[in-house]
Chains A and B, each alone.
Chain A
Amino acid sequence: MTSARRAAAEAWAFRARVEQEAALRFDRLAAVLAGFDPDSPVPAMMRRAADDERRHTELCARLAESLGNPVALERELDLASIAPRSLDARKAALYETVAACCITETESMATLTTLLAGEPDPEVREVLHAISRDEVVHSRMGWAHLSRESSTAEVAFLGPLVPGMLAGTIDEGLFRPPPADEDPEGLMRLGVLPLAKKREVFLGTLEQVVFPGLEKFGVDPAPARQWLAAAARR
């Protein structure tokens, strides 16, 4: 097996697990948000997003298997909230929505768009295209919820908490050199960003999409910027 195929098989298997967790998270958040904000369109969007994520799980798992890495998914997965215990239920739901949608789903959209702009193999392109159609909505629902909350509630508490979200999102290897046997073109064909490109897209998305978005709705991105600068120096 080539290094690109091996790395891509691992990446698609990882994505299958990520998508499975997202389905559980969106199902749970949909119920919580509906209790706080019954007029909001976001809970219905989240229920549909959970169905999307279950479909994505299958797509990613199938691709991982075709690349030689069958995925064993836990059928009875229990997903804990990632919000700090000190937050009340409404703030905890906002925290988790911002982490999952405004940060992670926005980053996923940037990754998908970059991969689709390359020349992925036809089977990979089909999967990337199917997933990207849904991820637009998954990111938007986070910004929609933050926007609604910022109009009636205090959201500034999130500013000092964004570094914790980033720490839980960023892959430890993001700032390290790429593996010696990395095959950038092979990876792109199989739907995976080479490390340098991944770093460029990830940081660009934070600086030019996520941080300005947070700031627009009253969340100070300065603590996140400081955390990121320190993480890059490590």
Chain B
Amino acid sequence: MLFKKLFQVLVLGGAVVGASAGCSQASAQQQGKKPPADAGTSSSSGGGVKGW
């Protein structure tokens, strides 16, 4: 029950929020652009975010 409700509230609720404004557009300028040097990317394989 908990998980079903979380799916509805968070996942489906998030999709509704995302659709509430103009569609995302893939900017030609931004496609393929590397992160700025100050973004601090430091991982070669990717990592995760610690939580509660």
Contacts and interface: CB of A to CB of B under 8 A. Distances in A.
Interface string B13-30: 111011111111111001
Given A79-B40, A100-B49, A41 B23 contact: no
B15 A147 contact: yes
Mostly helix, strand, loop or mixed at chain A's interface? Answer: helix
B43 A85 contact: yes
A73 B3 CA distance: 34
B51 A18 contact: yes
B46 to A, nearest CB: 4
A83 B52 contact: no
A74 interface: no
A143 B10 contact: yes
A39 to B, nearest CB: 3
Contact of B43 (A36, A82, A89): A82
A164 B33 contact: no
Given A143-B11, A209-B10, A36 B27 contact: yes
Query: Most chain-A CB neighbours within 10 Å: which of B17, B25, B43?
Result: B17
A111 B52 contact: yes
Contact of B50 (A35, A42, A45, A104): A104
A142 interface: yes
Interface size grouping (class) on chain A:
35 or more
Contact of A140 (B4, B14, B26, B49): B14
B15 A143 contact: yes
Nearest to A92: B35
Given A32-B39, A89-B33, A90-B31, A40 B51 contact: no
Contact of B46 (A41, A78, A95): A95
A45 to B, nearest CB: 8
B49 A103 contact: yes
A167 B45 CA distance: 11
Interface in A109-153: 109-114, 136, 139-149, 151-153
A147 B16 CA distance: 9
A151 B30 contact: no
B9 A152 contact: no
A88 B31 contact: yes
Contacts of A110: 2-3, 6
Interface of B: 2-4, 6-7, 9-11, 13-15, 17-27, 30-36, 39-52
